[in-house]
Chain A
């Protein structure tokens, strides 16, 4: 179905034993071992594709993000100094690619770094309701994923980028700030707004019908 080399790249486990030590793999890849590079990329292809999709909200853009990220990683691998985790390095490339995609699109408003955090009383009162059990038990994985994707899609680009990096890809606040080229306080304020906005969206979906706060007691 595929040319011989391509098939090996698509399914590296058939061709190469699983290697667990990432720094050893990086060193091998930097020394020109193509198989070590492909194994590294296979570890992260799902995550980078998800990251691209979450930020750009577009499958074609996410494909471009994934491809450009891996090609640039290959091209600049020798420049990776090991000062940060390899994954963080890859994510930084992916975020740059995804943000470039967003900037090329018209109509996406970039939120000012100085925009205040909206945590006033109005937000508190908006949707205070307990959830009806555990969403994982009530929805299929596919249904749940669609609900979560829709909620993220409704966020402003900067907010969904911060949330994706911090709470889905589990980068630190500092790593997120570095990847996005913004300050640590800016990451924190956007993350708070993103978390609260998603909480509201999901609460509207998952809330107990009678909205009874005493359901906790």
Chain B
């Protein structure tokens, strides 16, 4: 019999698609019978989904300009060293 504490300790494995089928079955039985763990599982999945769903925002233009200027200098210095 899986307890809530055990379920939480196994939560990462449960969310991993490569979980062993027997372990998954045991954990599924618990989550189907325990409303608290059901909610925690569901809201954890939603937490991951909302983070994964956010595209990285554009790098501010000023930062990009400084970045590529630094790379340009580095490239120029290398060319100079090779010639």
Footprint of B on A, CB under 8 Å?
A: 2-3, 5-6, 9-10, 34, 38, 41, 45-47, 49-50, 63, 66-67, 70-71, 74-75, 117, 119-121, 123-125, 128-131, 135-136, 141, 144-145, 148, 167-168, 170, 188, 191-192, 195-196, 198-199, 202-203, 206, 213, 216
Contacts and interface: CB of A to CB of B under 8 A. Distances in A.
B63 A145 contact: no
Interface of B: 4-5, 8-9, 11-12, 35-40, 42-44, 46-48, 50-59, 63-72, 74-76
A66 B59 contact: yes
A47 B3 CA distance: 39
Given A119-B5, A192-B12, A67 B66 contact: yes
B47 A67 contact: no
Contacts of B47: 195, 198-199, 202
Contact of B66 (A63, A74, A124, A216): A63
A39 B80 CA distance: 22
A34 B75 CA distance: 8
Given A128-B40, A130-B42, A6 B11 contact: no
Contact of B58 (A46, A66, A71, A170): A46
Classify the interface of chain A: helix, strand, loop or mixed: helix
Contacts, number: 129
Contacts of B48: 167, 195
B68 A9 contact: yes
Interface of B is mostly: helix
A71 B56 contact: no
A145 B8 contact: no
A176 to B, nearest CB: 12
Contact of B72 (A5, A128, A198): A5
A186 B80 CA distance: 46
B67 to A, nearest CB: 5
Given A71-B74, A121-B4, A167-B51, A130 B39 contact: yes
Contacts of A47: 56
Given A144-B50, A168-B52, A9 B12 contact: no
